[in-house]
Structures are given as C-alpha cells and as structure tokens.
Amino acid sequence: MTAPVRAAPVRLLTAAVVLAALTTVVLGALQPIGHSAVRPLATLDGISVAVVLAAIAQLAGLRFRLGPDAVSVSWAEAAVVVGFVVAPPGWLPGATLVGAGVAWLLLAWFTGIRNVAEIVHLVASMTLGAAGAALVTTLLAGDAPIQSARLPLALVAGAAVYLLITFGLVVLTLVLHRDAEPAQIAARVLYAKLPMSVGNVLVGLCAVFALSRQPLWLLAFGPALWLLHRTYRFHLRAAEERRMWEAFATATARLPGTSEAEVAHAGLRGALDVFGARRAELEVRLEGGHRRYAQDGPGLEDTLAARSGPAITRSMAVAGRPVGELTVWLGEPNLPVPQDEAAITAYGEALAGALHDAAAHQRIEELDTRAAWYRIRDPLTGLLNRGAFGTEGDPLLDSLERDRQVAVLLLDVVDFREVNSTLGHRGGDEVLRLVGRRLTDLSRVGELLARTGDDEFALLLPTITAVADAGRPQSSAGQLPAALRRARELVEQLRLPMEVAGVRLAVEVTVGVVVARAGQVEAGELLRRASLAVGKAKELGLTVGTYDSGQDASSTDQLALLAELQDAFAADDQIVLHLQPAVDLVTAAPTGVEALVRWRHPRRGQLSPGDFLPAVERSELLIPFTRRVLDLALSSAADWAASGIDVPVSVNVSARSLTDPTFPVQVAEALRRHRTPASRLVLEITESVAVSEQEIVDEVLARLRALDVQISLDDFGTGFSSLSSVTRMPFDEIKIDRSFVDEMIDSAAAGAVVRGAVELGARLGVRVVAEGIETVEQRAALIALGCPTAQGYHFCKPMPADKIVQALSQLAEAAPAPVTRLRADDAS
C-alpha cells in the first residue's frame, strides 16, 4: 500500500524557491558595493572568504532524520554573520549560493546522495535566507563600522531572519511532502535547529570581534567548534533515539490483531513511523504458503524512489520456527547506525510474535466454526443432530397455530448391527449416508430432518400430507391416517435397492408415528413418544407403529416423582453414587473419579439421572439433592484418600446451581464437613451452562475458584457455546464428548474435532479427558493425538462406592512405574 503522492506541490515549491533565490542573487550583484573601508578585507577577498565560509558551514554541518526525510543543521548563521562583515551585503546571497552549492555537490559525491532536486531546493533556501539576512542587517546597521555597538544587534537580527526563512521553508516542504501535522513538524525541526542556530550566532559574533580586535584568537575557534559540533551531534542523536523508542512502543502496542493482514499492515505502518523509513516490506512464511506485504513512505512516487536508501533485512522467528522476513529502507544513505539495526531486530521479534498470535487466533476461529457446525450437525450425514432437532424444532412449533396438528416420524434402520458386521463400519456409515441422502430428497420445504441416533432418523412434519393427499386439506380426524401414509411412502422409497462396497442391498426401516397439537408439546417430547411407538412396533413385528398414551408408563410416575424424591432423601439407601475412574491413557493409572448419581427406586428399580434430574432442577429439592450428592462424593473421596490414593472426585453441577449465589457457600460447607481440601473437588458443568446468565455464572465460578475448587467443562463440543467461553471462563479441565470419540476412527471430521480439542487444551494449559473409551483402537488413536486422560468401559465401568477403593488400588498397582499422576491440588 503506497501513501498518497504529494510530489507535485513540492516541485512547485522548489521551482518558486529557486527562482526567488536566483532573483536575489542577480539583484544583489547589481547593488553598489559601498565603502570597503568599513570591511577588514578587500572586496574580492571578502567575497572569496564568504564563499569558503558558506561551503565550510555546510561541510561541517549535521543531518538528522525526521521521518523518511533528513533535515540539515549547519553553521550557516555563523557564515552569514561573518560573511556580512567581510563581503559586500549584495554579494552575500551569491556567495552563499556558490559555497553551499559546491559543498553539497561534494557531499553528494562522497555520501551517495542522489536526490538532485532536494539539493537544489536546499541550496536555494539557504540563498534566500542569506538574502533576507543581508537586507535586514543592512537596514539596521547601515554604514556602521565593524567596531560599532550597533553592528552586533543588526547581525543578530539578520541571523534571526535567516533562521526564520530557512525554518519556514523546511517546515513547509515537509508538510507538503508528508501527511503530518504542521505544528508537530515545526516543533521537531525547531527543537533540532534552534540551539545550534543560537550557538552559530554567538560563534559568528565572536569571530567578528576577533577580526576587529585580535585576529589571532581565530586559531582557537577550531577546537571550540569541534567540541560544539560533537556536543550537538550527541544531542541530536539522543533526541532521535528517544523519538524512535517512543514510536517503537506505540507501534508495538498497535501490533496485536485478529488476522494476518491486519497485523502485517499495522507492522508496516509502525516500521515507517519508528525508523523514518522510505519503504518497508514483509514476507510472511506461515501455514498456507508465503505472502508478501509492502508499504511506501508518504510522498514517494514509485517503488524505485522508495528503495533509494540503505536496506536492513531481518529474519523473524518464534520459538525457533520461521515466521518471515522484514526489510526496512532507511531514509538517508549516511544515517544508518548500529542502534537502527538493533531496533529493527527488536521490532521484527515483536512483529513475529503478533503474526504468530494472529495465525493462532485464525486457527482457533476455524476450529470454532467447525465445532459450531458439529454442535448442530451429525458428522456422518450432515443432517441435524438430536440436540439441534429440539432447539430448532421448538421454535418451529411455537410459530404454528396452537391447535394445528403436527407429526414426528422416527425411522429406525432394521438390523443395522448386521450391516456393520457384514460390511464393516465403513460400509455401515455409507448405508447411513445414503439413507440420509434419500430422506433429504424425500423431505419437503418446512420439514425438519435429523439423525437422532446411531441408526435413527426423525422427520418433523408441520403440515401432514401424503403424496396422494397433496393439495387436499385434511380434518383433524384425518391427520393420523395421513401421517401413516407418509410413513409408508418413506418405507417404500428407502426399501429401493442401493449398492454399498460392491454389495446390492435393500434397507428396511421401522417407523414410529406420533401426532399432536403444536401448542401442547415440545419437539423433544414428540421424539420421545415416537421412540415409544418404534419400540411397540418392533414388539408387534410391524413396519409402522403409532404412539398411544397407554404406552407411556411414565405419565403417572412423573406426577408422583417429587413426593417420592422427598421420601428418598429421608432414606439412607435410595440416592446412591456409582463411581467411574478416569485414567492416564498410557499407563492406566487413576487420575480422577467421576461421581454418577443413581436412584434405587423401591418400585421402579434403579433410575438413571435422566429419569429424575429434570424434575429436581425445576423444584425446590435441588439444594438438598445437591447437598446429598456432595456429601456422598466427598465421603467416597475421603475413603480412597485414606488408602493413599490422591485423585480428585468430579461431581456434575446443575445449571440452576450455578445461577444460585449461595451455591459456593453450600460447597464450602460440604468441604468443611468432610475436612476435604477444596482442590480435591472438581465440579463439572456443560457448555449450555457456560453461556447462560453469564454475569451470575461468572461470579459464582469466580467464588468457587477462590475456594480452590476445580472446574471442568463437560460434553465439550455438543452444547451451545462457542470457543470464546473456553477462554472467558476459568476451566481446569475439558471433557471431550463421547459422540466424537465414537466416530473419530472412521470419521476424519470427528477426528479433527478431537484433535482440535486436545490442541486447545494444551494451548490453554488445562487437562483434557476423552469420554466413552470402549475399544483398544480408540485408546491407541487418542494416544496418537496426544490426549492424556480418558474414562470409559475399556478401563472401568461405573461401580458402587464400596468397590471404588479396590478398583483404584488395582489400577494404581497395575500402572507401570514411575507414574506421574495429575495432582488433585493443581489445575495443571
């Protein structure tokens, strides 16, 4: 990206200055020479001395960097003061023109400066300044002799006019040349020129005094001028270094960005500002190939002009890994110093870090996008998954009239296990993909299709019509027959032969049909009822079955659930825990234990959490239930701690608990009762909890972390949050959902999600646990991906609390020594 070209106004200014300078030279030469008696030298000698002084003033001057340009600071004021005394005033502009011109030609020859227009402009500016100084001094001094007291005042005024003219032209030139504030440029130029200009005037006055009184004193001017020159050079260099490091701090603060291009452009702009560069180029060598970025300094017409100065190139790397290369073209051939090279090296390191961070941010965003897709999509078929069927189905039902009849068809592939056994998992996956594709083709606009299980597909029909009934409205009484006809049509279409792995086969499905009013039921409930209908159809040997409320044995059970739960709390043996160890994937040594709550119902037998937890979370029983579970979990943890096994216990936490400000107090009380260190307790939350009522949840989690309780993100990748919640909230552990682990061997997409979760955990410095490990192949694949920890039936099934200590001891004893355990008191 090249800055706007501003060369045309600069060229016009140069032409005007040159024309004015030549005019003053001609007019000055035409002026009468006047009385030579007031001058210490003859006219020709005086003019020659003025020419020599003007040349020496430029040759002994200084140039300092001001952005991509350079500003000259010379002994010109001293030369003008002495020149006025030794030469006719009218000839002073011409002497300045000749002397300064010769000096700059020599400087261009020895230093490599090739910008002729800049030299002409500079010499013409000094000529105009000398003309103005001569005019003002002549008006004020008149024919005063050299010993006159009026002459020094006139010389000071003339020198001030010289400074004012040259200063104004320098500022005007830089303003036209670059996009910058005039006041800022004026302040910096004045800061550089004013001290030396004052010194020049004093030197010139001393020289005039010496000429008039003791010419031998002129011999002392050499050492004095050399010392003053060195002092001022140090002053300018220190000022420039201070400016450069201030700009360095500002530029590096602007470097962090979310994309490579954003960081690259900020880095190039910063390089131009920091080093006063004419051009900066950046070659980035990261994943995805090489990319080149470049930017020219303001006012440069083309790339060739921008590359006129010396170039410094530095390679950039992060932790030994190449990131790219930075090249900076400095403003002047004679200005690079070792400090420039050191600063460019430091700037390149900062830029490399920012580019590396931007690349990591982009990779996390890509992972976030993929994870967001897999949260609602089935990785195998691309259809909606079971969770998304509910989250998208409920708004669809809410948008319909409350009395409108809707239906859900649940299709279960018959004997799918036999397909897997015969064709292998790859063949089975291909069958499911073909079934999903056919159902997609058979679904209609507005209908919702999802894969809700291993071999189950659900279709939500907001309008119930079969192909034969299309375009003919149905009464409420006729909705179920229409839904049944639609189900049979799908059965017939799915039964058509397909070829998989060279085998021609036909797929049979069992369909469960449920019809209900849109305003009376949620999508999840419709799916549950359809599942009951599928089960009944299989029992009766039917292809299509319908839901009957008589099949739903839980209808009356739900009414009695809360009352029976209160009885369960009063009993000692109904609410129990089954405990499942998490182990090191390589050694199988225990690293933690998850507490899984069960209800030994006196009438219905053992119930899983899904049978009663929803009712608990909606009731006032949540606090006593949570207290009971924490007590059981911490009591079990104390048992294995007493046996010398130092691993934490994990307890699942309700979403409602994390929105309760008193929950941290409940946890603290439970820890106190059992005299258990807080670091030995891990509270597991789901992704949906992480994004609900963020302010309250964040506060509760912060108070729990203050207790030193560990936090685990359960079912990672299946909820509603984005990866931003992982970085926003203080997690100690990420648990990869078993749905991804089940698919990872045969599905590259699921494997990518698992790999991404492992890498994310490593980057964030948190534990990663894979759930649902059932096979040796899954264990080997996870070890290859670098996953440290897992739990599942492959290692140990959930077991009663009275057996967990023996199981943990056996796992610990069977682990190869030495075993590096995850510490219960550390989140690392």
Whether 4 has a pLDDT exceeding 60, the answer reads no
Q: For the residues 69-74, what does the mean pLDDT come to?
A: 61
pLDDT at 461 over 90: yes
- pLDDT (average), residues 392-408: 90
Q: What percent of the chain has pLDDT over 90?
A: 21
Residue 725, pLDDT score:
63
Residue 255's CB is within 10 A of a number of other CB atoms, namely 21
pTM of this structure = 0.42
| Distance of alpha carbon 450 from alpha carbon 389, whole angstroms | 6
- DSSP assignments along 708-737, one per residue: T-EEEEEEETSSS--THHHHHS--SEEEE-
Find the largest Cα–Cα distance for the chain: 136
More confident residue, 74 or 619: 619
Mean pLDDT check: name the lowest of 664-678, 695-709, 722-736.
Answer: 722-736
Average pLDDT value for residue range 254-267? 85
Res. 578 pLDDT band, cuts 50 70 90: very high
What's residue 383's pLDDT? Answer: 93
User: H/E element holding 700?
Assistant: helix 694-706
pLDDT higher than 60, residue 296 = yes
Q: 270 or 34, which is more confident?
A: 270
Closest residue by Cα to residue 754 from 721, 724, 787: 787
Tell me the CA distances in angstroms from 647 to 31, 242, 823, one per residue in order: 103, 56, 7
The sheet that has 448-453: what strands, in order across it?
Answer: 448-453, 456-461, 405-413, 509-517, 544-546
Confidence category of residue 821, pLDDT binned at 50, 70, 90:
very low
- The yes-or-no verdict on residue 471 having pLDDT over 70 is no
Instruction: Say whether pLDDT at 404 is over 70.
Output: yes
121-145 pLDDT, tens digit per residue, is 888 888 888 888 888 888 887 776 6
| Tokens read off for 56 | 């020496």
Confidence band for 53, pLDDT divided at 50, 70 and 90: confident
Is the pLDDT at 512 greater than 70, yes or no? yes
Q: What pLDDT shows up at residue 824?
A: 42
Higher-scoring residue by pLDDT: 648, 555: 648
Q: Is residue 32 scored above 50 in pLDDT? A: yes
pLDDT tier, 820 (very low <50, low <70, confident <90, very high otherwise)? very low
Q: Confidence band (pLDDT; 50, 70, 90) for 692? A: low
DSSP helix/strand/coil, 105? helix
Q: What pLDDT is recorded for position 111?
A: 65
Tell me how far apart the alpha carbons of residues 128 and 93 are, in angstroms, rounded to a whole number: 7
| CA torsion through residues 657, 658, 659, 664, sign | positive
Q: Average pLDDT for residues 458-468, to the nearest whole number?
A: 79
Residue 72: per-residue pLDDT: 61
Q: What is the pLDDT of residue 819?
A: 45
| pLDDT above 70 as % of the chain | 81
Among the listed ranges 28-42, 624-638, 673-687, which one has the minimum average pLDDT value?
28-42
User: Which residues in 545-575 are b (16+ Cβ under 10 Å) and which e?
Assistant: bbbeeeeeeeeebeeebeebbeebeeeeebb
Top pLDDT among 345 and 335 is at: 345
Mean pLDDT (the chain, rounded) = 80
In 142-181, which ranges are continuous DSSP H helix?
A: 150-177
Average pLDDT over residues 508-536: 90
pLDDT of residue 360: 84
Across 61-75, 309-323, 584-598, 665-679, least confident range: 61-75
